[in-house]
Structure 1
Amino acid sequence: MCVTFFTLSEPGFKLILAFNRDELLDRPTLSAHWHDFVGFSSSPNTPLTDDGRPYPVKNEKVKPLEIVGEGQGRVLSGRDWSSTVGGTWLGITKDLKVGMITNNPRTPPAPGVQSLKTPPSRGKLLRDFLSAAPQLTSPPGAAEYLTSHHPTSGIYEGFNLVLFSLAKPQPDIGYLTNRPQPFTFSGLNRIQDLAGPKGCIGLSNLPIDKKWPKVKEGEERMAKTLEEWKSASEGIDELIERMFSVLSPSKQVECDNDITMSTTISPVKLGQDVLFNKDPTNTLTRWGGTRTATVIAITEKGEVVYVERDIWVLGDDGEPTRGTGERKFKFQGEISCS
C-alpha cells in the first residue's frame, strides 16, 4: 500500500519526489545501493553481489547513517529479495531515469482483462526500464517503454507505473496502469492535468485519477511545505527533511478504510484470508506497515540527493520496532543539453 508525492514544477528542480514503501516487514529486501540488476542466484534466499559473492545485507534492523557518492553500477535502488527477479519499487539511474511502481489490488479488472494464474513480478517492469543499457543507440525513454508494455500489461496483477527520463531539458514522463483495463499516457501537460495545488501530484493504490483522502491531503501538504521552505530561504538538506514530514502523518489502522487515510502505516497484523487479523490463535499472520521512506531531489543541473530511511522493522523478537537506519546518496547525474 505504497504512496508517493512528486512535483516537476518547483523552480530549480527537475523533480522532487517522496515515497513511502508499505510492505510485509519480513519480506526479504535489500536497502538502497548501487548495482546493475545482476547477481541474483536461482534461489531467492541466496542473492549474490555484482561480483558473485553472497550478499551480506538482509532485513536491516539498525543501521547508522551512510553518506555515499557514486558507486559501482548505474542503478540506485532497493531490491526485492523474495524473488529471483530481484526487481524494485523505486529507483534512479546515473542518466536520470526515475521510476516507481505501486500495486492496485482494489480496482477489479474489466471484462477480458485477466492476470496469469502465476503472474510475473511487477518489479520486473521497473527493473527492465532502469537497467536498459545507456550505450544503446537509442535506449527507450519513458513514453516509448510504457507504450511497448501496454499490450501485455494485463498479465500482471494490478499496478500503477510512473516513469521519468530527465537527462534532457524537456522531461519525458509517462504513466501505465492495467486496472480496470490497460491504459497509458505520456507528456508533461497530460500529467500536470492531474496535479493538485502548486503542481504536486499524489498516487497510491488506485489509478492516478482516483485519489484517496491521504493522497489529496498529501498533495496539499507538499505544496504548503514547499512554500514554507522557499519562504525560509533554506537549502536542499532542509528541503529533504521537510519532504520526510510530508510522508509522516500516521493514523491508527483499525479497519481497512483507515489505510486510505494514513500516509505512514503503523504495523498491523495481516491474516492469510483477511486484511487484519486479531485472532491470537492464527499463526499465519505477518506484520505489515511502512518499511521505508525515500526522498529524491534532482536539481536543474542534474545534482541528485537520494535519502532512504527505515521506518518500521522487525526486532529480534519478531515484533515491530522503529527503524533507525538511513542511507544518503549524492551524485551528479548525466545530463544532455539537447
Structure 2
Amino acid sequence: MCIAAWAWQSHPAHHLLLLFNRDEYHSRPTRPAGWWAAAEADGKEILGGRDELGGGTWLGCTRDGKLAFLTNVREPSPRVGAKSRGELPVRFLQGNQCPLEYANELAKEANQYNGFNLVLADVHSGNMAYISNRPEGDSVVQKVLPGFHVLSNAAIDCPWPKALRLGQSFNRFAATHDGAEISLQHMVEKLMMDTVKADRSMVPDTGVDPDWEYQLSSIFIDTKKGEARYGTRSMAALAVKLNGEVTFYERYLESSLWKENHIQFVLEVAR
C-alpha cells in the first residue's frame, strides 16, 4: 500500500528529500533497487526496485533528473484484470514529457487501473505533479508546490493518522538537519520503522474491514492476512543535493533478512 514523505524545493541544501515505505505481500517476487531498463527503453536506465510479476516499479529515478513514485488507493474491491499500476512510473521515466503533460495524458486512460496516487517530478525544471484516479471517473491532476508533503493510501496530504505522524516527525527531522550531510540510513531507521498504530477510533473508514485497517495504520507494517504475511518489504530514502549529487538508500527484506543498498550518482546536465 505504501507511504511517502518528502521535502520539495524547500530544504536549504537539497532539491528533494524523500522517504518511502513499500508495503506488499511477502510472497510477491521483487528485485531490490538497481539500475535497469525495459526492452523498449532504448538504453535509458531507471534506478529503483522492480516488481517481477508486473515488471514495473513503485519508486524510480533517472540520471537526467526525473522521479516518480506510486501508492495504491485503499478500496474494498479492486477490479480483477486491471492494468498493472507499476507501469505508470516507468512510462514517465522512460518518456520525454514533463510531469504535468504526462499526468494530463494519463488522466484520459486512468480508469483502466485500480485506484492509484502518482507523483512525478523533474528536478532540472523544478516541476512536480500529482495525479489520482479516485474518486472513480474523476481523475485529479494538480501541480505540487514547494514544501513538505505526505502521501499514503488516500489523497495527497490527507490527514490520516499515520500520514500526520510521519509528516510531523519528518518536519522535525528536517528542521534539525538543515545541512547538506544527512544520513539517509539514520532517517530511515528513525522515521520509517515506526510500528505505532493509530487509536482505533481514529482509523479511517475506507470500506475495508476495520480490523485490517487498524493493522495497516502504522508507518511500518508487519502483519498477516489469513496465512499470508503482509507488510513493509522495503524502506527507501532519496536525497538530491543542490549541486546535483544524488544518494539512494534502501533497506529491503530478502529471505527473512534485512539487507541494504547504497547508490550514488550525479545528475546529468540539463540540455
Same fold by TM-score, threshold 0.5 exceeded?
A: yes
CA contact (8 A) 1:174 1:184 kept: no
1:192-240: per-residue Cα shift (whole Å, max 9, x none)? Answer: 5xxxxxx32111111214231010111110010112223xx6723x255
**2:86 corresponds to 1:87:** no
Cα gap change, 1:269 to 1:144, in 2 (>3 Å): same
Match of 2:114 among 157, 160, 168: 157
Partner of 1:293: 235
The offset of 1:243, in angstroms, is 4.3
The residue type equivalent to 2:269 in the other structure is I
Rounded to whole Å, the distance in 1 between the matches of 2:259 and 2:26 is 15
Q: Which has the higher strand share?
A: 2
In structure 2, relative to structure 1, the CA distance for the partners of 1:250 and 1:150 (3 Å cut) is same
1:177 matched to which residue of 2? 132
Matched, 1:166 2:123: yes
Q: Mind listing any 5+ residue stretches in structure 1 that lack a counterpart?
A: 40-49, 51-71, 109-114, 133-138, 193-198, 271-276, 278-284, 315-320
Distance 2:172 2:98 in 1: 32
Q: What residue is the counterpart of 2:251 in the other structure?
A: 309
> In structure 1, what is the equivalent of residue 81 of structure 2?
118
Q: Secondary structure at the match of 2:68?
A: strand
Code of the residue aligned with 1:241 in structure 2: it is H
Alpha-carbon contact 1:105-1:158 (below 8 Å) kept: yes
Structure 1 residues 250 and 222, CA gap change in structure 2 (3 angstroms): same
CA distance in 2, matches of 1:234, 1:128: 31
- Mapped to 2, the partners of 1:228 and 1:90 lie a distance apart of 26
* Code of the aligned partner of 2:24: E
Q: 1:224 to 1:203 in 2, by over 3 A?
A: same
CA contact (8 A) 1:25 1:313 kept: no
2:260 matched to which residue of 1? Answer: 326
Deviations 1:165-202 (A, max 9, x none): 1123xx1111111111333333343xx5xxxxxx3211
Give me the identity figure in percent. Answer: 30
- Structure 2 partner of 1:273: none
Contact 2:14–2:180, Cα closer than 8 Å, also in 1: no
CA distance in 2, matches of 1:116, 1:19: 25
173-182 or 88-97, which deviates more:
173-182
CA distance in 1, matches of 2:246, 2:72: 26
Amino acid at match of 1:177: S
Counterpart mapping for 1:147-226 below 5 A: 147-168=104-125, 171-181=126-136, 182-189=138-145, 192=146, 199-226=147-174
- Give SS of 1:325's match: strand
Match of 2:181 among 214, 227, 235: 235
TM-score (norm 2): 0.86
1:131 to 83, 91, 94: 94
* 1:85-118 C-alpha deviation (Å, 9 max, x unpaired): x10000000111100011113288xxxxxx8752
> 2:141 and 2:243 mapped to 1: Cα distance?
27
- The structural deviation recorded for 1:22 is 0.4
Report which of the two structures shows the higher radius of gyration computed on alpha carbons: 1
Q: Is the 8 A contact 1:78 1:91 kept in 2?
A: yes
Of the three residues 73, 91, 97, the one matched with 1:104 is: 73
RMSD (Å), alpha carbons: 2.5
Q: CA deviation at 1:82?
A: 1.3
**8 A contact 1:222–1:243 mirrored in 2:** no
Cα distance, 1:334 vs structure 2? 1.6
In the alignment, the residues of structure 2 paired with residue 144 and residue 256 of structure 1 have an alpha-carbon distance, to the nearest angstrom, of 37
Match of 1:324, SS state, is strand
| Helix, strand or coil at the partner of 1:19 | strand
**Structure 1 segment 8-157 matched on structure 2, within 5 A:** 8=8, 9-38=10-39, 74-83=45-54, 86-106=55-75, 118-132=81-95, 139-157=96-114
Q: TM-score, normalised by structure 1?
A: 0.70
Q: Please state how far the C-alpha of 1:242 moved relative to its aligned partner.
A: 2.3
Seen in structure 2, the aligned counterparts of structure 1 residues 33 and 141 have a Cα distance that, compared at 3 Å, is same
1:167 and 1:155, CA in 2 relative to 1: closer, same or farther beyond 3 A? Answer: same
SS state at 2:39 partner: coil
Partner of 1:248: 193
Report SS of the residue matched to 1:235: coil
